[in-house]
Structure 1
């Protein structure tokens, strides 16, 4: 060896060049340590942290060896940083973010880390542009054996925001057993999926109008709110009884609510349901759910019930009889089958100008809930209403009229007035139903009868019952004709009809004989 060195072992510049020899590790093509042959002897190393001893002797041009120098020793140290982790990735598992990467086994030059990698440091940042972030793990140990991946589980509550989702970025450093630290790895991002639903909407209220039902509620406060979902069902309690005959079982299931609208505006707190059939007498149950930007849906709000409120007072009743009794007069009338009919007011006059109420005062409820109003006229099974006026004087002419009133206190127009001098008790002939037939192309039944209508009659009233049991109920207003079209029938049901005639003096005929009919 005749190499000349101008730099010392510590990197200092020498004043004069000196003969030198560099003992270094040899590597194969894969970057692993290899041996080299010197004078037929295999030489390996030098290895870090191993002390080696050296001595030198000169050789002249004739190959003659001089004496050995004194012995000196040296111990190489590892000052090469390891490689940074590669393939860093983040995966959400429940409320935990799992950071994993490929196990590091070599230094920055691709040579094996001897004796190996000790641990890793993990950093978490709010932004990808943050080159370091906060140290969240300082001692993630190197796994042994054939394990090829390293992982760190971040359980910190900071990674799960109260609302929505937030991406966190992780970077990793490698530390070897000589505490050499690698450069920082590339960043990998991940987040905890938002699975927390909003709170149920509060203060749900419903108000009925003529052709829609209006819902209002208090706005939710969640910043990630996306909107609301509106549900509608039939007001009938919290559960419905389901009987399965073939299994001989009975169970109670939640009363069904069906989605009718989705509002994609988180600031909206009003919905008008125009989907209720016109004139529907049904009491509907409503509920609202909130949903956020990740489609997490809240529990159901409290439910409210409401129906259409047309605000129209009942039509005038029809007085069908004034009957003299001992020290009293019996007033009889019929009323159209209005759903929200609450009661009647009977008025009396002696001159057709000044009228006074003679029936008991009606006491209307202060608040009328949907459930207070029956789905059908609660007196529908009765064909005639009556009032006995006991505060009368003998041999005095009285006129009477009747008004209808609904649950909200709307009072209708009065009936045609009638006087007590009409005492003809003979009724008109009993009608005869001539046919009950389906209407072509429509799910209706047409009822026709005789005798023909004329000016001496007030008209005809139709009564109906479904099947062979039950009672007849009035299904028509007063008809000035000889035909009634029944639009509220269902297939598979046989309907029975009777018709009654009313004279102009208020006397009634006997009901016709029953005749049946059904849709094909």
Structure 2
């Protein structure tokens, strides 16, 4: 009998156990030794920008967009590159002769807040046809100069703009803020263009402007009166010339030129209402108590608070005889005596206490008993 028994001589249960151990060892060796399927190298092409926006002011075009943070393979970008600023008079397929470029670094906020980029382009001095448009796009290139394609394309009118209005002045009057400025020279007649002065008003401390008014550009001295403000507030005014482009489809596009120097107005109301007119005094004595009725033409100021009535007798100074401002242009004086003559005048007062001069006087006598 040999020292080792053969596999065939072992019981069935022992043979199955040894076979199971052998299979387990083979599986473990396979799992530990295989590196798996290798991932292909990234092309590192940034996803094209999809939210490019453009605004124009004068000859400057401001572009804004969201910076890409992922590649076309949906991986985080691991390197920076160059952003080409593309400009053309027609829709583009490629960025031929970029108008500018900016460098961008490897995004540092993966999964964090959105990063925004911007670029300001200055249009060429030689203007094409007034009805033409400039097309803009941005092209994000990796460090090898490769790109996944242009961004969305945006358009701005190529029409010329005029110089900013000069010598803007603002004078506060009872009727409003009187604005004036020097005329802006207009180029030769262009059938598809017209020009409009636009005046902006901004309340001190505010972040948005309001349009105070618009005036067509003409040969006459320009100006307007702004009545849309509120008294006792401070405002800054600025002026610009708007180029209005008539499109072939009947629509219009507007391009603002550069702004004038702003002027400040402190709208402190020191202006009284107009002096009342048409005062009449009439004596009446329907019963035992005599009185004198006063009537006059009403004022029409928006900030009118009411009227005051003044009375005097021979040799005396006028005295106010009403306690509160009268809302209506009429008054009944019951504090009169028989045999006396009274002289009346009225004034108008606004909500800020500014009082007008006295009206022309009206006299009336109370007959003796």
**TM-score between both structures, scaled by the size of structure 1:** 0.27
| Structure ID, larger Rg | 1
| Relative contact order, higher structure (CA 8 A, sep 6+) | 2
